[in-house]
Amino acid sequence: MTAAFNSLIHPFAANAVMLILVIPAASAALLFAVRDYRRSARLNAFAAFLMLLAALALLVEQPPPGDYLHVDDLNIVFIILNSLVGFTTSLFSASYIAHELEIGRLTRAQLRFYHAMYQLLLFAMALSLLANNIGLMWVAIELATLTTVVMVGIYRTHEALEAAWKYFILGSVGIALALFGTILVYLAALPTVGEGAAAMIWTVLMSNAGRLDPAMLNLAFIFLLLGYGTKVGLAPLHAWLPDAHAEGPTPISAVLSGLLLNVALHAVLRFKLVLAANPGAIAPGPLMVTLGLGSLIFAAFMLYRRRDIKRLFAYSSIENMGIIVFAFGMGGPLANFAGLLQMTMHSLTKSAIFFTVGQISQAKGTQRLAELHGLTLTQPVLGWGLVVGVAAIAGMPPFGIFTSEFLVVSSTFARQPLLAIPLVIGMLVGFGALMLRLHDVAFGNPGGPDHPVKSSYIPMTLHLGLVLMAGIYLPGPLVVWFQHVAEMLH
């Protein structure tokens, strides 16, 4: 039985890496040609579903690393998470976009473009995660940035264009700095590995990591951390993030927050591994701990002064990325495990929150917090969905983020008690701000217009269900898998 199953799945699994890239790339080309928006929305979701299947096939069989692409335990986590959220977001997007078309915020031509760009973004993110070549990884992140820039500006309003422009300029600077870091890594590897493409292949860099030029690596890491850190949204390089999240279409906010930030983080982690394996280089941990802690505390305080609901959750993303980078910076099996779990939970929860917020803003016709009140009364499903989502993202039990934040705090207490104090303060301040805002939005006196919403609740329920399940019971194989990756990350 299993032999038959294996022989059936083998050809599929062996080509899974190619499929993960070809499916979105081909769909992007195809979607440029499809005129009917309903058909293109369905096609978009279908392509994302196929991509998810291909990503899951990687669990069955992993191909050996090539010069350009590779699959290891680290990027599999990211790829599966990416294709899962990519798929559910495409489902949400299909219903969300229909409403935007109805109220005339988007035209049919823009929608065609939107769907093609969505697949192109999925392609760019998958390419960057799968890349074994640090140059290719950089190109993929540049492509992902360009596609999201045009998506953020798609409404063509004054604010949307401003947000897109700001994102574009700051993203470009980040990309430029990351490229400088990439060149420096090549130079660090030049004396040991020799000239040519080999010195840019990550697996080659890793196996020679101990003999690379440490001073050059140090310099390289600073540029890579600042460059890709801009895309992770770390303070003080985060300025693009709240605007880009607030002004673009909500499915894009969900993908930006839930996926693109992780992709940039993945790039940072790859280089952290190279540095950690070099005895002469600086420890990358303290730098990441500092940036992470800074982002957490900064974002936690900024949460109090938000007037726009999407901006509020954009700052919450900065806060969460701060915690995640902090956890990976601390290192060690427990903190890395916590970081991975927090990252997964954050992606699922934050995209669920954005699904809810998107529907709320469609129902109420506004994103301003001051005009959103008493949603649990007028829109029970959305209101309570938001309550559950915010409770989860704020780190309340019994949700998965509680588990991961608890692990981050306890592992920090065990090793660096002094660092745990600002960490806990940051988390509590952020928690307070989210609860304060949630109280008004969800409970308060209802008011304002109420348009019926036709969007599907399935993606939101699915995500929140997974987060709840993770908080109550983490399946054994998942724990073993994450532990394995955590050990790989040092």
Taking the complex as a whole, the smallest distance from the CB of residue 133 to other proteins amounts, in Å, to: 9
Cα 8 to chain centroid, rounded: 33
Q: Please identify which residue in the block is written with the tokens 């699994």.
A: 13
Longest dimension (CA), the chain: 69
Nearest 5°: the CA angle 331, 333, 339 is 60
At 55, list the tokens. Answer: 């990503």
User: Any contact of residue 196 with other proteins (CB under 8 A)?
Assistant: yes
Calculate the CA dihedral of residues 184, 185, 191, 193 and round it to 10 degrees: -150
Long-range contacts from 365-368, C-beta under 8 angstroms, 24+ separation: 365/448, 365/449, 365/451, 366/448, 367/246, 367/308, 367/309, 367/310, 368/307, 368/308, 368/309
Minimum distance between the CB of residue 18 and other proteins, rounded to whole angstroms? 21
DSSP 8-state symbol, 209? G
Work out whether 186 is an interface residue with other proteins (CB under 8 A). yes
Q: Say how far apart CA 357 and CA 354 lie, in whole Å.
A: 5
* Cα dihedral 474/476/479/481 (nearest 10): -140
**Which C-beta is closer to other proteins: that of 73 or that of 162?**
162
Of 207-266, binders to other proteins (CB under 8 A) are: 213, 215-216, 219
Give the shortest CB-176-to-other proteins separation in angstroms. Answer: 6
Q: Does 377 bind other proteins (CB under 8 A)?
A: no
Q: Mask of contacts with other proteins, 141-160, x by CB under 8 A? A: -x---x---------xxx--
Asked whether position 168 contacts other proteins by CB under 8 A, the answer is: yes
Task: Report the C-alpha gap between 444 and 455 in whole angstroms.
Answer: 24
Q: What are phi and psi of 261, to 5 degrees?
A: -60, -40
Closer by beta carbon to other proteins, 194 or else 475: 194
Binding residues for other proteins, total number by CB under 8 A: 34
CB of 223 to other proteins, least distance (A): 9
Smallest distance, other proteins to C-beta of residue 164, A: 8
Dihedral sign for Cα atoms in the order 161, 165, 168, 174: negative
For residues 263 and 271, give the distance between their C-alpha atoms in angstroms, rounded to a whole number: 13
Q: Whose Cβ is closer to other proteins: residue 153's or residue 426's?
A: 153
User: Is 139 one of the binding residues for other proteins (CB under 8 A)?
Assistant: yes
Nearest approach in angstroms of CB 29 to other proteins is: 19
| Binding mask of the shown chain, residues 95 to 134, with x at each position contacting other proteins by CB under 8 A | ----------------------------------------
What are the structure tokens assigned to 330, written together?
């601390």
- Nearest approach in angstroms of CB 222 to other proteins is 9
State yes or no: residue 191 binds other proteins (CB under 8 A): yes
**For the chain, what is the radius of gyration of the CA atoms?**
22
| Residue from the set 179, 261, 291, 335 that interacts with other proteins by CB under 8 A | 179
Q: Which one among 8, 18, 109, 169 touches other proteins, defined by CB under 8 A?
A: 169
Note whether 400 and 467 are within 8 A (CB).
yes
Residues in the chain: 490
Residue 131's beta-bridge partner residues?
A: 69
Q: How far is the CB of 41 from other proteins (least distance, A)?
A: 24
Q: Rule CB under 8 A: which residues touch other proteins? A: 135, 139, 142, 146, 156-158, 161-162, 165-166, 168-169, 172-173, 175-177, 179-180, 183-184, 186-187, 190-191, 195-197, 200, 213, 215-216, 219
